[in-house]
A and B are shown apart, each in its own frame.
Chain A
Amino acid sequence: MKRLATLWLRLLSYLVPRSERADWRREWLAELAVADWSWAHAWGAIADAWFLRTDGWTMDAMWRDLRMAVRSFARRPLFTVVSGVTLAVGIGATTAIYSVVDGVLIDPLPYPDSERLVSYNHDAPGLGVDVPVVPHSQAMYLHYLQNARSLEAFAVFSDSYVNLIADGEPRRLKAKQATEAYFDVLGIEPFLGRGFASGDDRPGAEPVAILGHGVWEQAFGADREVLGRLVELDGTGRRIIGVMPDDAVFTDEELWLPLTIDPTNADAGSLGLIGIGRLAEGASIEGANREMQELLVRFAEAHPDDFSGEIMEEAGLRADVKPLRDVLVQDVRQALWLLLGTVGFVLLIACANVANLFLVRGESRRKERAVRAAMGAGRLDLTRQYLTESLLLSLGGGLLGLGLAAVALRGLLRFAPSELPQVLGVELDGSVLVVTASISVLSGLLFGLFPLLGSRGDDLSHSLREGGRAATLGRDRHRARHALVVAQVALALVLLVGSGLMARSFSAMSNVDLGFEPAGVLTYSIALPAAEYPGPERRLAFHRRLVERLSGMPGVRGVGTINSAPLAGQFRSAEPMEPTDRPFPEDGLAPLVEQRRVSPGYFEALGIELVDGRGLDWGDRADGYRGAVISSTLADAFWPGKSAVGRRIRGQGDEHSWEVVGVADEVRFESVRKAPGPLIYLPIVAGPPDQPVGSTVMDVVVRTDGDPTDAVAGSREDLGAVDPRLPLVNPRSFEAAVDDAMAATSFTVVLLGIAAGVALLLGTVGLYGVVSYVVSRRTQEIGIRMALGAPAETVLRSFVGQGLRLTMLGVVIGLAGALGLSRMLASLLYGVSPTDPLTFAATALGLLSVATLATWIPARRASRVDPVEALKEE
């Protein structure tokens, strides 16, 4: 308690003027040492410090100022509501986005000592594949596990799906297969039972499983007796050894299985295991990188078959240790900072607007000020009164903004792309509240002090004599208000250009030729348990029966399966491949070719055009007629200008090759934005002829006549007839899947659009306000001019001209700003350059025309002034 009180007093002492600070601190700390501290004294210390700071401006005076501020706001409800809501929008938007940024980019991961968690993987810029990290092979994992000194714990994992049968109901669960130290790396303690123990990941160990909290509740009724029970996972009996707590989830897995690695027979060359590690006490990321690089070189030297010097060089394979958080959020990082910058702009515009309102109100209060000054109020008193008002308003706006932020955040999270890992909590927490409060106070100071700058040269007695009716105002004041309008226009234009560029990107993406026809297609996933479908024959038979049954459904026009559907699949596999008639040198790296397995009927069902040859049929298989279809990109790469049909292609250095039976139009697999690379469609049964492998995981595509989701019930029935134990997973229309793939872009488009709209609205209101204010101040002057014979058009033109001059200046500054800032958008744009002249010109023109309207309306009022009325007002 005393320590807290000491801290409190030390903090407060900074409020005391410097000349008295040391004595003040000494006195209070000494009293604290002898007396019992109560929090009433904390309040007393504020009062005392405040007394010294303000030289007698006591709490009473503060309350008086507050009461006056409240009364003055109550007298002008419109002013209060408009400025309060303006601030609330700015502060609310900033708070909402900041809380996302805080949760995703700033707040540490919810694991103990999470700053020591690293992604321990490789990087291979020479491969030309776009993956977050290049993972490990089994042998690599064992090598690092044994030798890395900079890690306290190290584990690798791979993601997969398993079918769980509990209560007779099949479920498909997302599983993480992980090595022994996985939970030690993250520092998670099990909720029930135990985590993985030494040896669980060695061959011959008893098969075990650890349940996620959600599955434990849903499939096992939160039964604490579940430990030790045998469950059937993909046809294998596994013993449940533990249940993890609710927040143990790393991405969105529901179950953990041991990843079995046989040290005596570990694969060296296939890189599929993602590594995470916990740095040892005192180890740095740089040190870990250096050590890993040395270990990698040693590993490559020990495995020249898989990692020859040439391949290492060409692929550029190297160590890549980085903070775990960076890997989790790299997709959204940029969009989030961009959004935060955007709402920051909106907040600035809101502040400019309120500052302008205060300026205007300040004018109308010159008389009040003069009276107060004449009665003995010093400049300090007036300043304090002004600041009290602006701070009160901004804190009120902040409170309202917080409410808006809470609502906005809920909407934001609902529409946000689902790429964000669940582990990152996004909420309005303490740190967000502190930021909101600071933003409120800062903006209060910003717009509260601004009008005061203009009133420096005020001659109060003059104001009093004139009755606050000076015909024109000081130049300073004009300049301040004009600067605010120019700034608002410039900021609004920057935002408009940004959202215009994003909107054009979105429309370009919507018009991309995906290479297939998503309309009318239903898609869902099925996974065959390897234990129940051991050989290729049974797997192929399953595919065939399913495709044939589904084809017989009424309204179905085509059916096919693929192991990972375009834009919707999670699974990727690629291999270096070469044409047999022009093989690559053995030590060179042939181009990486994406591989997919498809059933007959796939191309027709998804509407993919075959530009040459035929599609696959049931006779094409690894151990029969080795026919495959390649993409036109691959055909052009290997046999430019010639027909690829009839030629042969093989995995680099493989003995067996595939005959190209057809060439399919290119299809966007990975994302809407990314031009497709070379790809080969292999049959369901692929692999070498003597060891054929049948595909187990598949996405089914069903083309229907009507609404594709109507076919879900029929599909379930047909699947049940083929195998009642298999769940049908994630059925949805293919169009919905494509929409999801564009979610990140459309999300950014919508948010930027809203921000730009608000900016435009606030900017226009600001401009309108300034011109109408000038008009109202100059009514008499206009009356005289018109009485002297000035035509109405001249008056109109002079006001519109004044407004447009300000707008033009703002537009020029805004264009320059947008030119500089739109570069930051570059990686989010698609099909449009960050300096697209059309977007720049169109938004500038749009803003100008809205601004013209905003000045024209009050200007017209000026031109209609009746000279007699105007002069009568005298």
Chain B
Amino acid sequence: MKLRMTQVTALVLKAIAAGHRHGFDIMERCGLPSGTVYPALRRLERAGLLRSAWEDEDDAHAAGRPARRTYELTVRGEQALPDAEGKLEEVRRLLRTLPEAPGAEA
């Protein structure tokens, strides 16, 4: 399934690449609400850019919490990283070219 790269999917991919592996951690890193991040995770997984697995039960148990779902990049996900970086660069460029909000200069 082909995936259209958006700012959200790009941010989520980058966050995972940076080592954030659980849903809520990714949310926090991206500064996006769960209602945005989770559907993005589902889409990325369906497109084959991510795969998910369950933490080791014993490890989690030792830490006194239930096993969490972990997300990691697939090879295709790694390959998509430049694409994501491009998308984000586009956003940065856009932000730079935007004029300052009126009144901000004064």
Closest residue on chain A to residue B23 by CB atoms: A31
Contact in complex: A26, B42 (CB < 8 Å): no
A34 at the interface (CB under 8 A from B): yes
Q: Which of A33-54 contact B (CB under 8 A)?
A: 33-35, 40-41, 43-48, 51-52
- Complex Cα–Cα for A51 and B34 (A): 12
Contact: B69 with A26, CB < 8 Å? Answer: yes
A721 smallest CB distance to B (angstroms): 82
Instruction: Out of A23, A26, A35, A43, name the residue touching B66 (CB < 8 Å).
Output: A26
A interface secondary structure, majority: helix
Measured CA separation A501–B82 after assembly (Å): 82
Q: How far is the CB of B49 from chain A (nearest CB, A)?
A: 16
Q: How far is the CA of A26 from the CA of B66 in the complex (A)?
A: 9
Asked whether A761 is an interface residue with its Cβ less than 8 Å from the other chain, the reply is: no
Across the interface, do A30 and B33 meet the contact criterion of CB distance under 8 Å?
Answer: no
A44 touches B66 (CB 8 A): no
B44 to chain A, nearest CB (A): 12
In contact, A47 and B38 (Cβ under 8 angstroms):
yes
**Inter-chain contacts of B39 with A (CB < 8 A):** 47-48, 51, 58
A residues in contact with B43, CB < 8 Å: 56
Closest to A56 in B: B43
Chain A residues within 8 Å of B66, by CB: 26, 29-30, 33
In the complex where A31-B22, A34-B24, A35-B24 touch, is A51 in contact with B38 (Cβ < 8 A)? yes
Instruction: For A59, give the chain B residue with the smallest CB separation.
Output: B35
B24 touches A48 (CB 8 A): no
Most B Cβ at <10 Å: residue of A27, A35, A41: A27
Cross-interface CB contact of B35 among A23, A31, A46, A52, cutoff 8 Å:
A46
| B22, B34, B66, B69 interface centre (most CB from chain A within 10 Å) | B34
Interface pair B68/A30, CB less than 8 Å apart: yes
B2 at the interface (CB under 8 A from A): no
Q: Which of A41, A43, A58, A59 has the most CB of B within 10 A?
A: A41
Chain B nearest Cβ from A690, distance in angstroms:
90
Cβ of A48 and Cβ of B65 under 8 Å apart?
A: no
Q: Are A40 and B68 in contact (CB under 8 A)?
A: no
Pair A40/B34 contact, Cβ less than 8 Å: yes
Instruction: Please provide the chain B residues from 31 to 67 with a CB less than 8 Å away from any CB of chain A in the complex.
Output: 33-39, 42-43, 54, 60, 65-67
Residues in chain B near residue A58, CB distance under 8 A: 39
- With known contacts A31-B22, A43-B35, A48–B42 Cβ distance under 8 A: yes
Q: Whole-angstrom distance from the CB of A63 to the nearest CB of chain B?
A: 13
From B36, B38, B42, B68, residue with most partner A Cβ within 10 Å: B38
Q: Measured between alpha carbons, how far is A51 from B37 in the docked complex, in Å?
A: 11
Q: Report chain A residues within 8 Å CB of B34.
A: 40-41, 43-45, 47-48
- Chain A minimum-CB-distance residue to B54: A26
Which of chain B's residues have a CB closer than 8 A to the CB of A45? 34, 38
Enumerate chain B residues within 8 angstroms of A27, measured Cβ to Cβ. Answer: 23, 68-69
Closest-CB distance, A871 to chain B (whole angstroms): 52
Please report the C-alpha to C-alpha distance between residue A47 and residue B69 in the assembled complex, in whole angstroms. 18
Across-interface contacts of B35 in A (CB, < 8 A) = 40, 43-44, 46-48, 59
Least distance between B90 CB and chain A CB atoms (Å)? 21
Question: Closest B-chain residue to A42, C-beta based?
Answer: B34
Q: Pick the most buried of B35, B60, B68, B69: most chain A CB atoms within 10 A of its CB.
A: B35
Chain A residues, CB < 8 A from B22:
31, 34
B1-30 to A contact mask, C-beta < 8 Å, 1/0 = 000000000000000000000111000000
Contact between A34 and B42, CB atoms less than 8 A apart:
no
Main secondary structure of the interface of B (DSSP, over half): helix
In A708-723, the 8 Å CB interface with B consists of: none
Interface-centre pick from A23, A34, A59 (highest chain B CB count, 10 A)? A34
What are the residues of chain B within 8 A of A48 when measuring CB–CB? 34-35, 38-39, 42
Of A30, A46, A51, the contact of B67 (CB 8 Å cutoff): A30
Q: Other CB < 8 Å A-B pairs besides A30-B65, A33-B66, A47-B34, 11 of them?
A: A27-B68, A27-B69, A30-B66, A30-B67, A33-B65, A46-B35, A47-B35, A48-B35, A48-B39, A51-B38, A59-B35
Q: How far apart sit A44 and B36, CA to CA, in the bound complex (Å)?
A: 7
Closest residue of chain A to B46, judged by CB?
A: A56
Bound state CA distance, A48 and B37, in angstroms? Answer: 9
In the bound complex, what is the Cα–Cα distance between A30 and B42 (angstroms)?
Answer: 17
- Whether A31 and B24, one on each chain, are in contact in the complex, defined by CB atoms closer than 8 angstroms, is yes
Cα–Cα, bound, A34→B69 (Å): 12
Q: How far is the CA of A622 from the CA of B54 in the complex (A)?
A: 98
Q: Which residues of B contact A33 (CB under 8 A)?
A: 65-66
Q: List 24 A-B contacts (CB under 8 A).
A: A26-B69, A29-B66, A30-B67, A31-B23, A33-B66, A34-B24, A34-B65, A34-B68, A35-B24, A40-B35, A41-B34, A43-B33, A44-B33, A44-B34, A44-B37, A45-B34, A46-B35, A47-B34, A47-B35, A47-B38, A48-B39, A48-B42, A51-B38, A51-B39
What distance in Å separates the Cβ of B28 from its nearest Cβ neighbour in chain A?
Answer: 8
Contact partner, A30, options B36, B37, B38, B69, Cβ 8 Å: B69
0/1 per residue, A46-81, Cβ < 8 Å to B?
Answer: 111001100010110000000000000000000000
Cα-based distance from A26 to B23 in the complex (angstroms): 12
**Cβ B42 vs Cβ A52 within 8 A:** yes
Report the nearest A residue to B22, measured CB to CB: A31
Within the complex, the shortest CB–CB distance from A649 to chain B, in Å, comes to 87
Min Cβ gap B39→A in Å is 4
Return A293 CB to nearest CB of chain B, in Å.
58
| Distance in Å: Cβ of A106 to nearest Cβ of chain B | 38
Query: B69 contacts which chain A residues (CB < 8 A)?
Result: 23, 26-27, 30
How far, in angstroms, from A41 to B34 measured CA to CA in the complex? 6
Task: Quote the shortest CB–CB distance from B48 to chain A (angstroms).
Answer: 16
Q: How far is the CA of A31 from the CA of B60 in the complex (A)?
A: 12
Q: Chain A: which residue is nearest B27 at the CB level? A: A44
Chain B residue with minimal CB distance to A23?
B69
CB-CB under 8 A from B60, the residues of chain A are 30
A419 → chain B, closest Cβ, in Å? 54
CB contacts under 8 Å to B, within A1-43, are 23, 26-27, 29-31, 33-35, 40-41, 43
The residue of chain A having its C-beta at the shortest distance from the C-beta of B40 within the complex is A51
Report Cα–Cα, A46/B39, bound state, in Å.
10
Determine the distance from Cα of A56 to Cα of B38 in the docked complex, in whole angstroms.
Answer: 12
Contacts of A56 in B (CB 8 A): 43
Residue of B nearest to A36 (CB): B24
Whether B68 contacts A44 by the Cβ 8 Å rule is no
Cβ-closest 4 pairs across A and B = A44-B34, A47-B35, A48-B38, A44-B35
CB contacts (< 8 Å) of A40 on chain B: these are 33-35
Residues of B within 8 A of A43 (CB): 33-35
State how many angstroms separate the Cβ of A751 from the closest Cβ of chain B. Answer: 47
Known: A23-B69, A43-B35, A44-B33. A51 touches B24 (CB 8 A): no
Whole-angstrom distance from the CB of A596 to the nearest CB of chain B? Answer: 76
- Most chain A beta-carbon contacts within 10 A, residue among B24, B37, B43: B24
Inside 8 A of A51's CB, which chain B residues have their CB? 38-39, 42
Closest to B41 in A: A48
Shortest Cβ gap from B102 to chain A (Å) = 30
Give B55 Cβ to nearest chain A Cβ, in Å. 8
Measured in the bound complex, the distance between the Cα atoms of B38 and A41 in whole Å is 11
How far is B42's CA from A52's CA once the two chains are assembled, in angstroms?
A: 8
Expressed in whole angstroms, the minimum distance between the Cβ of A347 and any Cβ of chain B is 36
Smallest CB-CB separation from B65: which chain A residue? A33
* Chain A minimum-CB-distance residue to B32: A44
Distance between Cα atoms of A772 and B44 in the complex (Å):
54
A31–B36 Cα distance when bound, in Å, is 16
Q: How far is the CA of A31 from the CA of B37 in the complex (A)?
A: 14
How far is the CB of B100 from the nearest CB of chain A, in Å? 30
Task: Report the Cα distance A40→B38, complex, angstroms.
Answer: 13
Closest to A52 in B: B42
Chain A residues whose CB sits within 8 angstroms of the CB of B67 once the complex forms: 26, 30
Task: Kindly state the separation between the CA atoms of A51 and B39 in the bound complex, as whole angstroms.
Answer: 6
Give, as a whole number of angstroms, the nearest-CB distance from A32 to chain B: 9
A59–B38 Cα gap in the complex (Å)?
A: 13
Distance from B46 Cβ to chain A, minimum over Cβ atoms (Å):
9
**Nearest chain B CB to A9 CB, angstrom units:** 12
Q: Which residues of B contact A30 (CB under 8 A)?
A: 60, 65-69
